[in-house]
Structure 1
């Protein structure tokens, strides 16, 4: 099983985030008092390109597909974050899924018939399970735009004691953000900003990027154990062309 849990990346990531992501790191503190809550991560459309069938390789390294020697086209980007409920309590054992188009703007999905190349070295979809303190991480590529959409990565999070969340992550500084109808459908600028992530250079890597996307979900004790069927039903019910 391939992994990108590299000591150098962890060291640089920690050092950089300590200096630049104070708001995000607030999630890593102790649970909040009973009368305090964190703002929930806004929900977004699933879109039509959630995998019809999972690829053979579904790990958290989307840049290298098992059985292939080449790397995906695009700028390697490390996305990390923490999953917590609105009380600030870490959610361990949650399943975090991501999917996105390749560096040419095409999804690995039969519904995507755009005239753009397929990258056989890009996984397009990955999963990760949160650690005991709610942390997750992925190695993927910097998202790119395609007609009508700003660069984005789709996220779905499910787990025990939380409401399933489907949302999207956007990149700070992208000119397309101002024209993206889905992002700007969030009227509250503070809520909208919670989906926009700054990507920073990873020192010593020759151009790789990193970003932190913390996720706050509503607690729901009635959910019990994580139910993949619940997530699948939610995804299938929300097939908008985005």
Structure 2
């Protein structure tokens, strides 16, 4: 991610990304600097400012799911398989709460078209989910998606913090001619994109509607005694495993390790009642 805007100013999120990566606090003098969605390319007008990562921040805007979402995607951070065609793309970033503190254990479920603009609706090519690490970071290896009628180039994603609602949205590429004609396109969802040899590197930071106070990222804590059952935090579950929770039976849809906030009723992407 570039650390300067087209005006040469260091962006707030660039400072925060660098600080979190280094495990230090961001310099207070830079905490008032707004961030652009991405570095401008020549001839482009400045988009609206993205959320400023501070108290009272605005969450990342939602967008339509579209007709091609499929549940139960595989757990993986790379969608590239042997023989995959298309220009390689790496997307990285962080997930923040409303006080601009990183959120660990956030579920991100990505899906996209292949280089020809087609979605795999029978299998799981170019579909996969992952979780942010302890620093709130994610990294996706994929390809630049192709175009299809009516849409500009984009990635789909669902983002869910433990015990919180799902954010469904889309990510866009700067400089695409169809950005001007796509009725769904939102400039606030533009990634920062740069060339890396024949490949491309992109960055985007999500802000979720998760209240936060000063100090470390909040974690889900029980306010009432657990309702009972065989489900337990810290257990590694495989697809097809069965548990009980709160008097109901659930089937595991995707392999994961249980944690507070991911109780079966809270995460339909991971558990199905029945």
Q: Same fold (TM over 0.5)?
A: yes
In structure 2, the gaps of 5 or more residues are 20-24, 33-53, 212-219, 223-259, 270-274
CA contact under 8 A between 1:163 and 1:219: conserved in structure 2? no
Matched, 1:80 2:92: yes
How much has 1:182 moved relative to structure 2? 1.1
Tell me the alpha carbon deviations over residues 146-194 of structure 1, each in whole angstroms, 9 at most, x when there is no partner: 10111110011112254321100000000111111112xxxxxxxx332
1:225 aligned to 254, 261, 272, which one? 261
Tell me the alpha carbon deviations over residues 8-38 of structure 1, each in whole angstroms, 9 at most, x when there is no partner: xxxxxxxx644568343255465989x8332
In structure 1, the gaps of 5 or more residues are 1-15, 65-69, 111-119, 184-191, 234-242
CA contact under 8 A between 1:43 and 1:167: conserved in structure 2? yes
Where is the helix percentage greater, Structure 1 or Structure 2?
A: 1
Matched, 1:213 2:204: yes
CA contact under 8 A between 2:112 and 2:126: conserved in structure 1? yes
How much has 1:52 moved relative to structure 2? 5.0
1:1-242 alignment, distance < 5 Å: 17-18=2-3, 22-28=11-17, 36-51=55-70, 53-54=72-73, 57-64=74-81, 70-110=82-122, 123-160=125-162, 162-183=164-185, 192-202=186-196, 206-219=197-210, 225-226=261-262, 232=268
Q: Higher relative CO (CA 8 A, sep ≥ 6), structure 1 or 2?
A: 1
CA 129–52 in structure 1, closer or farther in 2 if over 3 Å, else same: closer
Query: What TM-score does the superposition give when structure 1 sets the normalisation length?
Result: 0.68
- The 2-side partners of 1:61 and 1:142 are apart by 13
SS in 2 for 1:97: strand
Query: What TM-score does the superposition give when structure 2 sets the normalisation length?
Result: 0.60
CA contact under 8 A between 2:85 and 2:115: conserved in structure 1? yes
How much has 1:83 moved relative to structure 2? 0.2
CA 88–52 in structure 1, closer or farther in 2 if over 3 Å, else same: closer
CA-based RMSD: 3.0
